Amino acid sequence: MFERALSRFSSLAMAITMLAMTSQSLLAQSGPAATEFMLDNGMQVVVVSDHRAPVVTHMVWYRVGAADEPPGVSGIAHFLEHLMFKSTEKIGTGEFSKIISRLGGQDNAFTGNDVTAYFQRISKDRLKTVMEMEADRMVNLRLEEKEVLTERQVILEERRSRIENSPSAILDEQMNAALYMSHPYGIPVIGWEHEMAKLSPADAMAFYKRFYAPNNAILVVTGDVTADEVKALAEQTYGKIPSNKQVTWLPRAQEPPHRAARRVELRDARAGKTSVHRLYLAPSYRTASEGEAEALDLLLKITAQGATSRLYKKLVMENKVASNAGGWYSGAARDSGKISLYAVASDGVDIGKVEQGIDSVLDEIRAGGVTEAELERAKKSYLAEYIYESDNQASLARRYGWSLTVGRTLKDVEQWPARIAKVTLDDVKTVAAKYLDIRHSVTGTLIPIAPEPAPKAEGSPQRTPSRG
């Protein structure tokens, strides 16, 4: 406990010291460097060493996600992620996570539009066992119809709890569908319910055989290991799997020009407060012109993140038309990114005033840009976050894995702080004018309404209200 506290204190002290330096001095020390190599079967491997504790984080990333699903089987990428925890010829049904737990480790997985990842945090001496298990289920997954149908009910229930029971999640889903007129990013990662209900063992196995192979995977190991140690273990485990020349991707539909703003309104008795939301189509880090994505990150930090942001100060603190407001830029995608903004109306405030408040802030930034003080504060905040994340194995594994899986490089990842430092006031103003274009947006409103009265039971007597 003391060693962990001391390590955290040292990291904090280092970050504070670094932030007092010039940007160039800071950038030279902003995080550990990774080692990269390729197995003969095409599997990419990345190792980031951190020898402070005898623990490692092991992640396998597949270059496939919900945006790669064939038409009509939305949710199959996420469904297969669940099914990967079932059984192989060597591992019994439901035993994978139990074995990891008995080894003293933790494991989980997640699916995105472009990626599917499986990870374990384990002691160094158990790494080979984990790699053997992950390599086994990469090619030897066994699906029994009863297990598949049972798990299908699990993902349907997950959708009901995460989406159907949340008005804000429903609105977000509908806004995404409106934002992407052609691209599959408009389809929810979890899937549309009517298509999820029909997913079959054959659908899952076809997707598995098409995309799960070493030449479509990236292994990232962070922690108390060296590149040589990981290479030896990877060759003994993953290296035995032949590459799959049948790995293929359907070409993704591309977005047509966006020429008109779109609106979505959701009225729901379960909504807590009235709120307004806005999405803008924007490039991702992979597709943006040089410096644009970094400028967008800083623009949204200044505009919408935290109590010092333009949006929060204007709508919440000064005009008091909103009780909360914020936003972010999402750029970690293969094809395109988006800008997200929101504001929750104060009690009794018309939603139109809240939307006008958002537009007013954006108009000011498009016309006049941001200040030098705002830009420097945003840069320091992001660089501090980068340093803190570099102190965490799991964050490092995710940082490298996600970026490489969507088509970026080690150089892209490790030079990010330097590119952030180079962003100028003109860069921020340029991307604001270019991408905060209402024609490329979807505005959504979430409006609470009175619940419908419960239906009366047939034959029940009409009650007369008592009088005082």
Strand 141-142 and strand 44-49: the pairing is unpaired
Quick one: which of 213, 68, 127, 334 has its CA closest to 119? 127
Q: Kindly state the tokens that stand for 348.
A: 């009794």
Give the number of residues written for the chain: 468
Helices marked H in 84-192: 95-102, 127-139, 145-159, 167-179
Contact yes or no for 138/212 (Cβ under 8 A):
yes
Question: What is d(CA 181, CA 179) in angstroms, rounded to the nearest whole number?
Answer: 6
Question: What is d(CA 339, CA 329) in angstroms, rounded to the nearest whole number?
Answer: 5
Question: What is d(CA 265, CA 261) in angstroms, rounded to the nearest whole number?
Answer: 14
In terms of Cβ atoms closer than 10 Å to its own Cβ (0-12, 13-18, 19+), residue 190 is buried
Question: What is d(CA 301, CA 55) in angstroms, rounded to the nearest whole number?
Answer: 34
Question: What is d(CA 361, CA 363) in angstroms, rounded to the nearest whole number?
Answer: 5
Contact yes or no for 171/127 (Cβ under 8 A):
no
Q: Kindly state the tokens that stand for 151.
A: 């798990």
Lookup result for tokens 């979807």: 442
Radius of gyration over every alpha carbon of the chain, rounded to an integer in angstroms: 25
Q: Tell me how far apart the 2 most distant CA atoms of the chain are, in Å.
A: 87
DSSP 451: P
Contact yes or no for 32/386 (Cβ under 8 A):
no
Contact yes or no for 186/62 (Cβ under 8 A):
no
> Is 414 part of the annotated catalytic residue set?
no
DSSP 3-state assignment of 99? Answer: helix
Of the residues 69, 81, 151, 294, only one is catalytic, namely 81
Contact yes or no for 134/59 (Cβ under 8 A):
no
Which residues are tagged catalytic? 81
